[in-house]
Amino acid sequence: MPALSLTTPAAAQDVLPEIVVSATATETPREQVASSVTVITADDLARYQQRTAADALSMVPGLNVVRTGGPGGSTAIFMRGTNSNHVKVLIDGIDAGDPSKPNGAYDFANLLTSDIERIEVLRGPQSGLYGSDAIGGVISVVTKRGSGPAKLTGSIEGGSFGTFNQTARAAGSQDNFDYAFNVAHYRTTSLPVTPLNLLAPGQQRNNDNYDNLTYSTRLGVRASDELAFNYVARYTDAHKGFTGDDSSNWPGPSFPEKLQSTTASRDFLTRTEAVWSPLGNFSSTFGFSYANQWNRTINPNPDFWVSSFSLGIGPPSSYRGERTKFDWKGVLDAGYGQKLVVGAERQDDKIGTDSSGAYDLFGNYQQLWKRAGTGNSAGFVELQSEFTKNFFLVSNVRYDDNDSFGGHSTWRIAPVFIVPTLDTKLKATYGTGFKAPTLMQLYVDGPYVVANPNLQPETSKGYDIGFEQPLFSNRVSFGSTYFNNQIENLIENTTLSGKWTYDNVGLAKTSGVESFVSWQATETLRFRVDHTYTHAIDQTTDQKLRRRPDNKVTMAAIWNPVERATVSATVLYTSSWVDYDRFGTTLLDAPSFTTVNLAASYEVDPHVTVFGRIDNLFDKKYEVPVGFLQPGFGAFAGVRVTN
């Protein structure tokens, strides 16, 4: 089926989502969607006991998740071989990309799952609907609403690596008002991340630690039959202790630093919207979103060139990014199987950072606070057409007018045909995409980096074509999709007068095949297997792109031995890929790896559930990326209580 949960239930229509939203920006029956979409539900997250979004996304076909060590490490997602900043990330409709980051990508390091209702992973170029960043695709996260009588839920979990997690939730609805309040605390105190063979002789390893406290709320009010208001807010306060790298004697050998560095992150996301439906076939949504993302890193090691002649402890560096967005979307059901979606938006980004500086006439480093900003206005039109009960077509076009580089148009077309009697779904998409240069790339100079205000956006053309076949009343289903992307004007580092700068000089091609098989073996046992083959090439050097494995296989099994018990198992195989060593000096092939996770839960009564899991069952030692160990064998257990 096109919108696939990570599970495969006996009656697919009973558990798999009936609709998807991200593919068309409206609720659309899944059989009408041509795009490749994976849907991860709250039930999936609970069943596999995945505490972070990065853990859940690692099982999705077409994605490669790269995290520097364990929880809290910088986390990038490569979709269908494209760059990590080619993925648009939305959290409750808020564009969560960080404008203060050099590449502008969203870092999944701190996104916990306790309040998440569903994650939709939409693959393929989507700029015709979503604008900048959506070259590889879109990841849309939606949090839980409150409904029904007031319910209080709490959980506690502990285990390996000094893990101690807690969650609390109060949610419900009354008359025309619904509410949900959530608190989640995630902590690990001792996680080995630095490989011992990289340490200097006699150096001791400092294990990483991580502490994340996330608050979120979701409120809704129906003022009348025609008017409703929604509000969401999310605040995360996270702290990470990690081991950085000492490169002060470059071009000589580098080593991990002796003293532990710390990073503090504070992210605040909020959105308010009004939904007005004056007519039965027309609705308007007016929204305002605000994002404020801040982080500060302190390095206590005396390996920074505080002057041209001596090393010392460098000043803390901080980044702050702000994004405001006003948007409007109108949906008109025109009848005769035609639905029109139109939208307009205005987005403004600002950054401030003291991470850059310059050396004065006396050779002393002077830290500078630099600011930059830009904005973008856009409009889009989409037509969803149901020509027959077997033939559907979605087409859209969008125009963006960016304050920094001017106008840019993108579009997409996506037909679906369901073969009568056989129920074979034939699907295809073709679309264009673009990625705007970041504020750091455009305007922020450093002691060794020169910004380039003349940068143009990266652009892409991509298509996919595939089929999906259900059998035996959906007890068995399988399918395959071929994808192909051509990306031009990639922004890469070049040299200018002895310093680094940026220029539109890159060219890449990514292609591959995503395939799946799902099987309901019995009423209590079900399986699913996904395979992704990716071929990602830098066409300027004819070399493989880094951190894109050729093959990825995921397998999932769910067993319900008794009505109240659930047992699940997942297997992740990742083939070798090209990467630099930790210090960026040697290009090598990272070895393949296979990990196995187990999870089980038992409902003692309607109010108490006990659960436990084992991660990396066979204690596989592997590095992702190279130079950063991933967690070994870990055992965890806990209890969840509901009133």
Nearby residues of 490 by Cβ (< 8 Å), 6 or more positions away: 83, 458, 504, 505, 506, 507, 508
pLDDT digit string, tens, across residues 266-287: 999 999 999 999 988 999 999 9
pLDDT at site 250: 73
pLDDT digit string, tens, across residues 39-78: 999 999 999 999 999 999 999 999 999 999 889 999 999 9
What three-state secondary structure class fits 522? Answer: coil
Which residue ranges in the chain fall short of pLDDT 50? 1-17
pLDDT at site 70: 85
Asked if the bond preceding 625 is cis, omega within 30° of 0, the reply is yes
Structure tokens at 394: 């979605």
pLDDT at site 1: 34
| DSSP state letters, 293-315 | EEEEEE--SS-EESBSS-EEPPP
**Contact (Cβ atoms closer than 8 angstroms) between residue 285 and residue 91:** no
CA-nearest of 171, 182, 177, 121 to 146 is 171
pLDDT at site 4: 36
pLDDT at site 247: 80
pLDDT at site 274: 98
Q: Residue 564: which region, alpha, beta or left (left: phi > 0; alpha: psi -120 to 50)?
A: alpha
pLDDT at site 269: 98
d(CA 105, CA 121): 16
Q: Cβ atoms within 10 A of the Cβ of 540, count? A: 12
pLDDT at site 16: 46
d(CA 377, CA 398): 11
What three-state secondary structure class fits 564? Answer: coil
pLDDT at site 15: 46
